[in-house]
Structure 1
Amino acid sequence: MPLVLSDEQQMLRESARGYLAEQAPVAHLRKLRDERDDTGFSRALWRGFAEMGWAGVLIAEEFGGVGLGHVEAGVLLEEMGRTLAPSPFLSTAVVAASAIGLAGSAQHKAQHLPRIAAGELVAALAIDEGAKHKPSRIALAAARHANGFRLNGTKTFVIDGHVADLLIVAARTAGGIEDKQGVTLFLVDAKTPGLARERTIMVDSRNAARLAFENVDVTADAVLGEVDEGAPWLERVLSIGRAGLAAELVGAGSEAFDRTVSYLKERRQFGRAIGEFQALQHRVAQVYDDLEMARSAVLKALQTMDENLDGAGPIASVAKAKAGQAAKLASQEAVQMHGGMGMTDELDIGLFMKRIRVAQELFGDVQFHADRLARMRGY
């Protein structure tokens, strides 16, 4: 399949770019940050996303969604990256909706997907338990109790977990903490007794949460998929999240790059625009090449998911790693080429660098995915 967007996807991108530029510019993030907003995003904006059909982009029409594909979700995420728009789109409309849509029972889908599509439900995936992303290590215990399970343990870096209504929790029901077998996914109401949530404000001014489970009881109906068989579903969902994050990274890196190129054309030194200096041109060309390679890798990953989700894991890792590397370079060069003011909060460039740094870590950084690919290839 050609690595280009269709006419309909191009129209979606143009529509999203115009909407976000008006409703969620970078100033919107600044306002939330400066007010230390407890939610971390605008509920009104999220309702607007739902009205546009974005909250249901990956949800089938029978459950109130628009039934589009991963390429379309990636188009939206790339444009959100350009304006640093804070929203639960990734955590809820992409990751959680995919998890429920793929592994959920008919009851789960009927109960939760229409509410996600309507912008009424915020959901979050709780997987990591340490300082770095390591989905192979699940220690949070889920022991059989009464007619269900009792959860005990902790989760960290749960994006939007502080305000989520529903949590998708990866727990250990059998085996050792590094075993693939014995992982089960649970749908947990955030108001369940014994669940404590601590809001954490990250460097990119977004919010996450630390979760503590102390004798949290759930029924057997809360199991997403099959008991002890959650790892394959988790891998599919993580691949979707990684490709989506890669699209956002390309958007953020591209916007930082575009702003830098504009500055190089305007800033004059020694009687001419600094963009005429060859040393800077070489550096700009390198950033451009890296971003274009990342964009191609991301589009290939998204297309592969629409065609064969089970086989998309490797290309999702390629996309996430390349997008992270390219966006990091773009933001670093943006700060350098803007000179001293590039380090000030007055300029938006620093906000792009901070968001890119967090998005790099979420669902695995460059090193994680390089190692993952090497292991997949038998190295």
Structure 2
Amino acid sequence: MDFTYDEEQVALREAVRGLLGRAYGDFENRRRAVAGDPGYDATTWGRMAEMGLLALPFAEDDGGVGAGPIEVGVVAEEIGRVLAPEPYLAAVVLAGGLVAAVGSDEQRAEIIGGLASGELVPALAHAEPAARWTDEATAVTAQQSGDAWTLSGVKEPVPFGASADLLLVTAALPGGGTGVFVVDPSADGVTRDGYRTPDGGRAARVRLEGATGTPLGEAGVDRTAAVAAAHDATRVAAAQQAVGAMQVALETTAGYLKSREQFGVPLKTFQALTFRAADMYVALELARSLALWATMVHADPDATAEEKADAARRAWAQTSGAGRHLGQEAIQLHGGIAMTAEYSTGTYTAHLTALDHLLGDARHHLGLLALDVAGHGEVDPLR
């Protein structure tokens, strides 16, 4: 299997790296961007729109570029390298992907068009308190009266939910299943309480009390499968983003071992520390391979929904475990300085942990994969 990018994809990577490098190559710029609301730099978000990055995964008829998961992965990896705080995963891949999948022609034109231009930032309000990485909605319910729908319940955490221009809210339908509704965050019955996440990002608690919602696409249809597909696509892109973050964490750690001295010699002189750095490299490359493979599965038009879900779980399980390993080792090998707010290593580790909390950790996805072990044929270990 060829994991090499073609010329256009390499050009895309260099262009994104240049844009984000200018914005956040100095880590102090990121620290300033996340210090105030909305938690990212609106100017950089606008430049990403001008470059066409926000329109990448969407059909040209909907105002997009018509690219695919591989190009999205290229962007995501560069975002991870500098921990760019812009809501690319949350708005473009997750919320935008769900709109592209089930929205009506009018909704796709309005929402995706606004997102692609950088004028509208949607957020998916799906996670619920006490729920654990499920694709169904239970705590928030939808009630129908004629053609009108009202929603009640609490969603948390909602990535970038406090500053989003539009909320896509999942809710339990009266007849069973999960519906998706477009909600105006400024409408009556909607309360948003925003807060910072450990990596400097933003999330919110959204309370709905009889808030009016417009069905996304056809009314009353169970959208659980579409929500699951959007989560899987986000996991694959997040795996690429995590790979970018882990690459920099490894480079920073290796540089520290080469430059920091103890007992009059560089730390790299100590074999035990060198072996630990080598283990970090192996974990990173395994995660990179699984992330690229899963991206190619999602880019395959002949791949089934089950195959895409399986690839996303495998890739994220590997990436999640690698992220925890690299993050912990990077902090340990740096010593106490890595725990300070002024140093970037702790923030990279916090971001990898935040992705786990958003998309499910390795244990969760390994458990799901284990449910299907009996469905695979026996393998003779001697052949």
Q: Is the TM-score greater than 0.5?
A: yes
Question: Aligned partners of 1:159 and 1:168: how far apart in 2?
Answer: 12
Task: Check conservation: 1:184, 1:229, Cα contact below 8 A.
Answer: yes
What amino acid sits opposite 1:365 in the alignment? D
Secondary structure of the 2:151 match is strand
Determine the structure 1 residue equivalent to 2:322: 326
Deviations 1:20-63 (A, max 9, x none): 11112322221134xx4121111111101101111111122233
Determine the structure 1 residue equivalent to 2:289: 296
Deviations 1:68-109 (A, max 9, x none): 111111111111111111012111111122111111111111
Map of 1:225-244 to 2, 5 A cutoff? 225=218, 227-244=220-237
Question: Aligned partners of 1:236 and 1:213: how far apart in 2?
Answer: 25
What amino acid sits opposite 2:241 in the alignment? E
Task: Check conservation: 1:78, 1:247, Cα contact below 8 A.
Answer: yes
In structure 1, runs of 5+ residues without a counterpart are 176-180
Determine the structure 2 residue equivalent to 1:101: 100
1:369 aligns with 2:365: yes
What amino acid sits opposite 1:18 in the alignment? G
Determine the structure 2 residue equivalent to 1:338: 334
Displacement after TM superposition at 1:126 (Å): 1.0
1:370–1:56: structure 2 CA closer, same or farther, 3 Å change rule?
A: same
Determine the structure 2 residue equivalent to 1:275: 268
Displacement after TM superposition at 1:13 (Å): 1.6
Secondary structure of the 2:170 match is strand
Q: Mean alpha-carbon deviation: is it higher for 357-366 or for 205-214?
A: 357-366
Secondary structure of the 2:143 match is strand
What amino acid sits opposite 2:283 in the alignment? D
What amino acid sits opposite 1:325 in the alignment? G
Displacement after TM superposition at 1:135 (Å): 2.8
Secondary structure of the 1:4 match is coil
Displacement after TM superposition at 1:225 (Å): 4.7
Task: Check conservation: 2:99, 2:216, Cα contact below 8 A.
Answer: no
Task: Check conservation: 2:126, 2:137, Cα contact below 8 A.
Answer: no
Displacement after TM superposition at 1:346 (Å): 2.2
Map of 1:3-42 to 2, 5 A cutoff? 3-25=3-25, 26-33=27-34, 36-42=35-41
Determine the structure 2 residue equivalent to 1:59: 58
In structure 2, runs of 5+ residues without a counterpart are 376-383
1:286 to 279, 285, 291: 279
Map of 1:199-210 to 2, 5 A cutoff? 199-210=194-205
Question: Aligned partners of 1:275 and 1:226: how far apart in 2?
Answer: 62
Task: Check conservation: 1:253, 1:328, Cα contact below 8 A.
Answer: no
1:104–1:349: structure 2 CA closer, same or farther, 3 Å change rule?
A: same
Task: Check conservation: 1:267, 1:274, Cα contact below 8 A.
Answer: yes
1:190–1:378: structure 2 CA closer, same or farther, 3 Å change rule?
A: farther
Secondary structure of the 2:359 match is coil
Displacement after TM superposition at 1:251 (Å): 1.1
Displacement after TM superposition at 1:309 (Å): 5.9
Task: Check conservation: 1:29, 1:86, Cα contact below 8 A.
Answer: yes
Displacement after TM superposition at 1:143 (Å): 1.0
Task: Check conservation: 2:183, 2:212, Cα contact below 8 A.
Answer: no
Determine the structure 2 residue equivalent to 1:189: 184
Question: Aligned partners of 2:340 and 2:331: how far apart in 1?
Answer: 9
Displacement after TM superposition at 1:226 (Å): 5.2
1:145 aligns with 2:138: no
1:312 aligns with 2:312: no
Secondary structure of the 1:312 match is helix
Determine the structure 2 residue equivalent to 1:178: none
Secondary structure of the 1:338 match is helix
Secondary structure of the 1:224 match is coil
Question: Aligned partners of 2:315 and 2:333: how far apart in 1?
Answer: 26
What amino acid sits opposite 2:295 in the alignment? L
1:257–1:216: structure 2 CA closer, same or farther, 3 Å change rule?
A: same
1:258 aligns with 2:257: no
What amino acid sits opposite 2:326 in the alignment? A
1:309–1:82: structure 2 CA closer, same or farther, 3 Å change rule?
A: farther
